[in-house]
Structure 1
Amino acid sequence: YRADVLHAIAATWIFLLLSLIVIRSERWQGLWFAGCAVAVAAFAPLVWSIEFRPWLPAPLAAYLNIKTGSLFPLFPWSAFMMAGAAFACWFVVARRRGMERPFMLQLAVLGIAWILVGHFSGPFRFLPEAASTDWWADPRTFLLRLGIVLLLLGACYSYGLVRTPKKSPLLDVSRESLFVYVSHLLLIYGPFWGGRSTAEVVGRTQGPVTCLVASVALAGLMVAGARAWGAIKQRKILLNGR
């Protein structure tokens, strides 16, 4: 049994929706989601060190850590969605008060701070020695990744204010996010090389330059594919409208 990214997304969405039903205040919703994100990210190493199958059915244990082969267990991946929900709640409050731009600037600054903390800080010592030290579950990795997301979010927001683009590769990709998601998984994990995937052929560990080149190439393919797929759908809409 394995929990993939869609399983993690669905389970976290259910939790978020139930929380919204119970907690009606946007301020308290944000605090609740932020607290949950901190707890999930902080205790992910401990959860990853525990074998849950003696106490839980394997399909449920698969949601908690990687010991059943899961790629995206709830610890720590659901913390990213919870953090996003928290910032979304606070963004709504800031926009209502006319503080949207300062809020986005603060997010970008916070992102820079978290990138630095995640990269330069030493191991966190509040967990038992038996806790997992896998970098996927390390709270510093969570801070680093979330900081990068916040910084990119602030940059995209600023770009939108300056340029107000109606057409751009970023908009094309955002409109075809499902196509991009499915396509990149097929390209990486599809068994197109004599029954082997690209990930298996290339190998899971490469140097920084190779990873950078591969990432840029994959991003370029996804942008081109998203634009082509969007054009096909638009053409079909126009033909059906005649």
Structure 2
Amino acid sequence: GYLFAFPANKIWDLFFIEDRLLVSFFRANILQLIGVSLLFVILLYRFTRNDKTLGRIALAIAITISILSPFVSQVNWFKYLPEFIAAYLSFEHGSFFPVFPYTAFMFYGVYLGTILKKLDAEGRTKFIMKWFTLAGIVLFLTGYGIRELLLSQEIYIPTRVNPGAIIYQIGWVLFGMGFWAFIYSKTTKFSFYYAMFGKRALMVYVLHLVVLYGTSWFPSVGNIFYRQLSLEWTLFFVVVIELVTFSMVYLYEYLINKSEKFNKYHKQVVVGLVLYFLLVGNLWLW
């Protein structure tokens, strides 16, 4: 996540850049949030004895984060904490995904995962289609009502930390899961591809960012033609980026299973490339 916002050509240049660039570098976005939230989940997993306890504590943590989020958002954390920590607690300096409220969604997911784990594959799909869809509709309508009620009060609560908004987002996600479970039930002949790309969902997300925006060391379509493309060209690049991204993931999966050398050395190659850019930088920018 931080590499996508790296503000210098080489790591040594960090000592000479303006403070405003460090502010944007330390913003908490989705990849940083995923990393931090997973660390919390791993810690919770280490200290719980069984799935039942894990689920209950995860739900309690998720609800607590959701309730506290409006209050946490009112504190000027940058006054009391270093930039790189405060960015995980506040939207103030441009973070899109601080811990409050978004880590709550990770823990809601852990709770739901402990429920689904008890079911076999077929029963799981039916359960999601029926109960997730129903719960999604109920939560969406309930959350929307709570959101509007709180917005009508004299005390201002930003939409992103509004408990009602959090609830209806959960409802929308559950409804979406129910819908896609139904699609899956009608297209099981493609289950191999669903499983493969689902397993590599984070890779799909990261690769599409690289293909769309490039990195701090080389550009791509998103920043070369920023707000310059017509609707037709935009749709064209959407299709191209999706094809390239999924093709890269498919090729990766193929090589992982078929090539012993790739399986053995691909991580070292990626680490080597990252170190090269951090230490040497893009030679064209020298």
* 8 Å CA contact retained: 2:208, 2:245: no
- Write out per-residue CA displacement over residues 8-54 of structure 1, whole angstroms, 9 at most, x where no aligned residue: 11221121112122221322221211121122122212211110233
Q: Is 2:131 aligned against 1:112?
A: no
Q: Is the 8 A contact 1:189 1:199 kept in 2?
A: no
CA contact (8 A) 2:214 2:220 kept: no
Kindly state the Cα deviation for residue 142 of structure 1 after the two structures are TM-superposed.
1.8
Q: Determine which of 171, 179, 189 is the counterpart of 1:165.
A: 189
User: Aligned residue for 2:149?
Assistant: 123
* Residue 22 of structure 1, aligned match among 47, 66, 87: 47
Aligned residues: 225
Comparing 48-57 and 171-180, the one that deviates more:
171-180
C-alpha offsets along residues 96-136 of structure 1, whole Å, 9 cap, x if unaligned? 7x9645642212211111122233442338x993x642x22
2:67 corresponds to which letter in structure 1? Answer: A
TM-score, length-scaled by structure 2: 0.63
Native 8 Å contact 1:4 1:73 kept in 2: yes
Residues 48/237 of structure 1: CA separation in 2 closer, same or farther (3 Å cut): closer
Residue 247 of structure 2: aligned partner: 228
Please give the alpha-carbon distance, in whole angstroms, between the structure 2 residues aligned to 1:198 and 1:137.
34
Instruction: State the percentage of identical aligned residues.
Output: 21
* Farther off after superposition, 225-234 or 9-18: 225-234
Once the two structures are overlaid, the 10-residue window that deviates more, 61-70 or 74-83, is: 61-70
- SS of 2:94's equivalent in the other structure is coil
**Which of the residues 66, 74, 85 maps onto 2:110?**
85
1:46 to 53, 58, 71: 71
CA distance, structure 2, for counterparts of residue 239 and residue 14 of structure 1: 32
Q: How does 1:168-187 map to 2 (within 5 A)?
A: 170=194, 173-186=197-210, 187=212
Contact preservation (8 Å) 1:118, 1:143: yes
Conserved? CA contact 1:184–1:218, under 8 Å: no
Relative distance call for 1:225 and 1:34 in structure 2 (3 A) is: same
Within 2, Cα distance between the matches of 1:23 and 1:143?
26
Relative distance call for 1:175 and 1:27 in structure 2 (3 A) is: closer
Asked whether 1:145 is paired with 2:169, we answer yes
User: Which 5+ residue runs of structure 1 have no aligned equivalent?
Assistant: 203-209
Aligned to 1:205: none
Q: In structure 2, what is the equivalent of residue 71 of structure 1?
A: 96
* SS of structure 2 residue aligned to 1:53: helix
Unaligned runs of at least 5 residues, structure 2 = 1-25, 261-286
Bigger radius of gyration: 2
What is the distance in 2 between the residues matched to 1:198 and 1:118? 40
Q: What is the alpha-carbon root mean square deviation over aligned residues?
A: 3.7
Residue identity matched to 1:137: V
Indicate how the Cα distance of structure 1 residues 237 and 37 shifts in structure 2: closer, same or farther if over 3 A, else same.
closer
The answer to whether the 8 Å contact 1:46/1:128 transfers is: no
- TM-score relative to the length of structure 1: 0.73
Letter in 1 for 2:245: A
Alpha-carbon shift at residue 173 of structure 1 (Å): 4.2
Which whole-Å deviations, capped at 9, do the CAs of 1:51-71 have from their partners, x for residues lacking one? 023332222211111123322
